[in-house]
Amino acid sequence: MKTRLAAALLLAAAASAAALEPPDPLAGALAEARALVDAGRPAAAVEKLQALGRPDDPRVRHLMGVARYHADAHLEAIELLSPLVEAFPEGSLERREVVQVLGLSYYLAGRLREAIPRLEETQAWAAGNLELSHVLGMAYIQTQQPEKARASLARTYEVPADSAAAHLITAQLMIRVELDEAAEAELKRALEKDPRLPRAHFLLGQTALFRGRVEEAVALLQRELELNPGDAMAYYRLGDAFIHRLEWDRAIDALQRSIWLNPFFSGPYILLGRAYTQKGQPATAEGMLRQAIAYDPNNRAAHYMLGQLLQRSGRLEEAQRELELADRLKEQTGR
């Protein structure tokens, strides 16, 4: 994300006013360092700039900050670039790049409230840049500014800011950063504007399921499937809801439909493994769990459930392998 955005905005802005001034002994070294940054070699650019022995020169400091940003050293980039905002003329390419990279560095360092003014300033001259609008929208979401978030994301996805679609998109991104309550409010506003909007009932149903409101989840997911009967994920979550209600046959029907629509997602196979185990069909359950592992070899839950199933079937050596693998995956992922 960040490399494309920087390239799309100003990171190719090299010599500007310098071309009109007398020869500068630093110009060649700065151009070489810039070329290294643009070639994806920021560490080499840092070495070249450090060798110049001019750490307080604004041009060296500027390019060093850009190189640090590209090397994912965002706090160092902030330290280098913060004093330079006023060092270059208003509207100059150098100042624009400093503001842009500083805003992105603040964002990636998690300092969102400091990022927003810099990103807003950048947007003033790069209004058509989709990735910038997305980053700014995410910053607004995480600082609880839903109206501004929706306006920025509407630009990203080219929908009217007051439309049901804008509310839906904003809600989806709120869910991504676990702001479920804010997302629910956006989704309800979306449905007020368009009661037949695809995905809105699904997202509300999924959130209800995660919060243990199973009956509400079932009703919402069924409504989604009335409007959008080809939604594999809606069938998957509906199957999950039926499992919460211990309705194994209804769960199997929903999960099988999910697989027919999208056979390459491991989630439904895992839930089918659980359902068939509960129905006393271990061979079918094993087949489902092995299929889940075939699509997602690092899925800890699938290996653990298969190990338990094999253990109950008396296949202790196979069970031990699966359970040990599940333990290793837990150590690697922390989950």
The answer to whether residue 254 sits within a structural domain is: yes
Total-model pTM: 0.83
202, part of any domain: no
Predicted local confidence at residue 13, as pLDDT:
43
How far is the C-alpha of 139 from the C-alpha of 20, rounded, in Å?
A: 39
Same domain, 12 and 97: yes
Question: Rounded CA gap, 173 and 134, in Å?
Answer: 10
107/189 same-domain check: no
At 10-47, the pLDDT tens digits run: 444 444 444 444 567 788 899 999 999 999 999 999 99
Same domain, 242 and 139: no
97 and 131 housed in the same domain: no
Among candidate residues 166, 243, 237, 250, the one with its CA nearest the CA of residue 204: 237
C-alpha triplet 103, 108, 112: angle, nearest 5°: 60
Contact 122, 96 (CB under 8 A): yes
Give the tens place of pLDDT for each residue, 71-99: 999 999 999 999 999 999 988 999 999 99
The domain that holds 169 is classified in CATH as 1.25.40.10
Let me know if residue 174 belongs to a domain. yes
Read off the pLDDT band of 122 (50, 70, 90): very high
207 located within any domain: no
Out of 126, 144, 162, pick the residue that ends a domain.
126
Task: Tell whether 193 and 104 lie within a shared domain.
Answer: no
Average pLDDT value for residue range 218-235: 97
Is the domain of 13 the same as that of 116?
yes
Confidence of residue 158 (pLDDT cuts 50, 70, 90): very high
The C-alpha atoms of residue 334 and residue 153 are separated, in whole angstroms, by 33
Domain co-membership, 103 together with 6? yes
248, 263, 278 - which closes a domain: 263
Range 156-160 contact pairs with CB under 8 angstroms and sequence separation of 24 or more: 156/130
Measured between alpha carbons, how far is 274 from 40 in angstroms, rounded to an integer?
A: 47
> Which of 126, 156, 184 is the last residue in one of the domains?
126
Q: What length does the chain have?
A: 335
> Picking from 97-101, 161-165, 284-288, 327-331, which range would have the lowest pLDDT averaged per residue?
327-331
Nearest to 106, CA basis, from 92, 118, 97:
118
Given this model, what pLDDT does residue 26 score? Answer: 84
Please tell me the distance from the alpha carbon of residue 243 to that of residue 248, in angstroms, as a whole number. 6
Q: Which domain holds residue 98?
A: 1-126
Helix axes 266-278, 232-244, angle to 10 degrees: 30
In a domain, 168, yes or no: yes
On whether both 106 and 38 belong to a single domain, the answer is: yes
In a domain, 204, yes or no: no
For residue 300, being part of any structural domain is answered with: yes
Cα 91 to Cα 5, 60, 153, distances in angstroms: 19, 20, 26
If one counts the domains in the chain, the total is: 4
* 264-300 tens-digit pLDDT: 999 999 999 999 999 999 999 999 999 999 999 999 9
Query: In terms of domains, do 148 and 57 share one?
Result: no
Q: What percent of the chain lies above the pLDDT cut of 90? A: 85
> Does 37 lie in the same domain as 115?
yes
For residues 107 and 150, membership in a common domain is answered with no
Q: Tell whether 163 is covered by a domain.
A: yes
Task: Please indicate, yes or no, whether residues 86 and 143 belong to a single structural domain of this protein.
Answer: no
